[in-house]
Amino acid sequence: MDLSEFLEDSSKNYRLVSAVPAACLTEDCCLGIDEAGRGPVLGPMVYGVCYCLLSKQQQLEELKVADSKTLTEKEREKLFAKLDEANDFIGWALEVLSPNVISTSMQQRTKYNLNALSHDAAIGLIQYALDSGVQVKEVYVDTVGPAEKYEAKLKERFPGLEVTVRSKADSLFPIVSAASICAKVARDHAIQTWKFVEDLGDINLDYGSGYPNDPKTKDWLENQVDPVFGFPQFVRFSWSTAQAILDTRAVPVHWDDDEDDNKKEVSSVLSYFQRKTEGPKDQPHRFFTERKLVSLVNL
Amino acid sequence: MNVLGSLSPFLLLSAELGLVGAIQSEEGLSQFGSCNIVSLSRYYIDIRSAMPNKRNTKKDLHSNQWVLLAQESVIDVPDKAVCGPVFTRLRNPKTGTAALYLFNSGASQVYEVKAFDEEYRSWFIGQSVQHDGRLLFVTPLDPLFLILPYLIQANEKQGKFQPVDQVIKDEDFPGCSNVLNCTRTLQSLHHITDEKEIGNRKFYKYNQEKTLGWLKKKAEQTVKALKDTSISVGGGVQSSMLIRNKPVTEVTEEDYLRYAHGLLSDYIPADLSIELRKFLELPAVPTKTAVGEPPSKKRKISDKPVEAEEDYTKFNSDSKEKKPSKMTAAQKSLAKVDKSGMKNISAFFASKNKAATKSI
């Protein structure tokens, strides 16, 4: 798996796809979707799809793909190699969501939450398969959030497809297991060979699992805080773990849309009726106030 | 950089913005009446304290770096100049309180200092962060504005011709006498005073009529400048975030003159501002109502008893007849929307619990 292009510029999402098997363009296929790296505070989240000829599902099962969580990293690598070799009837596509994109999406003015981000990545990959001419008929998805709602959303978006959304789909359907292996392998690659865009000098790369509850990860985060900039782009700023560390260890930064009520206390209604101490005559002309120009007394 | 590019006659003084250098002050100006720009090269201005022993241990709340926009001539230092540019506190002619001004090197011209100051802004300057995002403007000022209040006051108190250096004296702001050294000051004093020459000495007395004539010319010049720069002077509700560039409604000459009068009033004492308004024949209240404001309803005075014009009783009647409200199609479709992970609207009014932070 070659993720070098993503790692060169890890601030953006990246899509990596296999060649589309010729048979998939003519025969009916099923498609599985799964994700890796939803929970960690570090690194990208990877969405994977795997599609396979409906007629060759038996062969897929013979590859003994199983839920990626039950496998060791080596076993996953081996299985991915097998999937990649079976390129006469299996194809795959990956969407690598940069931690930077996750941070900025979740923290922008109009919030774009992780569920919506996940759903859109899945929809994008199904659309990719359709656009490439893969004859997708059945779609199996491991759920994010309530399964019924997700299923309804996908069915509405793709009325021509038979969509099945289940929790634990990765252990129920081999095609979802295959997708989960592709996603997990990509995530492991990205984490292990991460190139920091920031000039961090001799950085300690021992950050543990990347999950917020891992003490090693927490220690690493606490040691990486820059008082002004916070963390490198590798870290998902939108995670509460990251936020809590920033709150205590970094310089406070106030944004226009902060819901910081501590600073501005709600004033009593009566205050609007009080006589202003500063008469309107002392106010600068609106030319200045409209332009936020003020006189200075001190520098 | 485009914005800055259009200000070609000005220099931006800041470290890495690529134009000039950084101005830094170690102590800030707060403790000193004025402050000398000591070591001054074309690209770097270093401000040090004039009185280094009187160090204030309290950390200056404000910055130690400023970004300042000034005409190139402000920091030009001729070889023979005795002193460089100096920041000085002088009496603001409108409010009578302290305000910051700047004399260029040789004190041949006085400049006012204004800052663009908006919330939630900071600078990145070189490899440093400046927490206030202020942009300082140093712009030329007619020195007559600064000495006008002193002349008016002297005329009210003594009412006689006096040497000007006796009038422009201020214990609180000793720097004010420097205004007299500006090249234009003595040459243009005749705009606002009567002069008498006795022997070799010149004596001056404030003349309000002349002053109003002079201010009227200023107002006319300002009107021209407002038109040339297409500044919106019309009425109507202005959003504080929005500066209109195009006039939305038809703007009358009176609007322009009123706006110019308002601008000038920021530079003259309040009493004189009222005199000037009369002199410019501007009514105290705008003749046309502000745009967007409905004409005020006035009840006609009559002997008839006052009766309600509308029937309010219907609101008091029993509301039992009210049918159970049905949801509209739009409300129904709204109810179907996936709200997982969304905050209830009442959550925004609940007291904030800091511990409950955003989570995945």
Are the beta carbons of B240 and A289 separated by less than 8 Å? Answer: yes
Apex A138 CA angle, A137 and A142, nearest 5: 150
Chain A residue at shortest CA distance from B30? A298
Q: How confident is the model at residue A4 (pLDDT cuts 50, 70, 90)?
A: confident
List A295's β-bridge partners, or say none. B114
> B111-125: per-residue pLDDT in tens?
999 999 998 999 998
More confidently predicted of B185 and A259: B185
Q: Cα torsion for B345, A101, A124, A157, to the nearest 10°? A: 10
Chain B positions in Cβ-Cβ contact with residue A295 (cut-off 8 Å): 92, 99-100, 112-115
Chain A residue at shortest CA distance from B135? A293
The structure tokens listed for B329 are: 């199609």
Residues 6 or more apart whose CB falls under 8 angstroms from that of B348 comprise none
pLDDT higher than 90, residue A237: yes
Q: How far is CA A220 from CA A38, A195, A212, A238, in A?
A: 19, 17, 11, 17
Chain B positions in Cβ-Cβ contact with residue A291 (cut-off 8 Å): 116, 243
pLDDT (0 to 100) of residue B304: 58
pLDDT (0 to 100) of residue B354: 46
Given a contact cutoff of 8 angstroms between Cβ atoms, the answer to whether A144 and A150 are in contact is: yes
Nearest to A174 by CA among A244, A41, A82: A82
- The percent of residues in chain A predicted with pLDDT above 90, rounded, is 59
Q: Check CB contact of B112 with chain A, cutoff 8 Å.
A: yes
Nearest to A25 by CA among A173, A131, A158, A140: A131
Average pLDDT, chain A: 88
Chain A positions in Cβ-Cβ contact with residue B120 (cut-off 8 Å): 254-256
Are the beta carbons of A243 and B115 separated by less than 8 Å? Answer: no
Q: Check CB contact of A293 with chain B, cutoff 8 Å.
A: yes
Amino acid at B153: Q
Are the beta carbons of B99 and A295 separated by less than 8 Å? Answer: yes
pLDDT (0 to 100) of residue A129: 95
The closest CB to that of A293, out of B30, B66, B114, belongs to B114
pLDDT (0 to 100) of residue B131: 85
Given a contact cutoff of 8 angstroms between Cβ atoms, the answer to whether B269 and B93 are in contact is: yes
Chain B positions in Cβ-Cβ contact with residue A254 (cut-off 8 Å): 119-120
Chain A residue at shortest CA distance from B96? A282
Residues 30-49 of A with CB under 8 A from B: 38-39
Q: How confident is the model at residue A201 (pLDDT cuts 50, 70, 90)?
A: confident
Residue with the two structure tokens 């596509």: A93
pLDDT higher than 50, residue A27: yes
pLDDT (0 to 100) of residue A1: 75
Question: Over the range B109-148, which residues count as b (16 or more CB within 10 Å of their CB) and which as e?
Answer: bbbbbbbbebeeeebebeeeebebebbbbbeebbbbbbbb
pLDDT (0 to 100) of residue B352: 54
pLDDT higher than 80, residue A91: yes
Q: How far is CA B260 from CA A47, A53, B191, B270, in A?
A: 62, 79, 19, 15
Chain B residue at shortest CA distance from A256? B120
Distance CA A176, CA A65 (A): 9
Q: How far is CA A98 from CA A36, A77, A95, A201, A211, in A?
A: 13, 22, 9, 22, 16
Q: Check CB contact of B124 with chain A, cutoff 8 Å.
A: no
Residue with the two structure tokens 């509850």: A213
B311 CA: distance to closest CA in chain A (Å): 31
HSE of B162, CA atoms in CB hemisphere, 13 A: 19
Chain B positions in Cβ-Cβ contact with residue A38 (cut-off 8 Å): 360
pLDDT (0 to 100) of residue B52: 31
Sheet holding A45-53, edge to edge: A14-17, A90-97, A45-53, A29-36, A136-142, A162-166
The closest CB to that of A243, out of B137, B265, B357, belongs to B357
More confidently predicted of A66 and B54: A66
User: What are the residue ranges in chain B where pLDDT is below 70?
Assistant: 1-63, 78-83, 235-249, 286-345, 347-348, 350-360
The yes/no answer to whether this complex scores an ipTM above 0.90 is: no
Distance CA B219, CA B200 (A): 35
Chain A residue at shortest CA distance from B337? A149
pLDDT (0 to 100) of residue B340: 60
pLDDT higher than 80, residue A241: yes
Q: What is the mean pLDDT of residues A165-189?
A: 91
Q: What is the mean pLDDT of residues A53-70?
A: 81
CB-CB neighbours of A54 under 10 Å: 15
pLDDT (0 to 100) of residue B290: 45
The structure tokens listed for B195 are: 């002069």
- Tally C-beta pairs within 8 A across A and B: 98
pTM comes to 0.70
pLDDT (0 to 100) of residue B301: 54
Specify the pairing of strand A14-17 against strand A90-97.
Answer: antiparallel
The closest CB to that of B357, out of A228, A244, A254, belongs to A244
Highest mean pLDDT among A244-258, A284-298, B211-225: B211-225
More confidently predicted of B66 and A237: A237
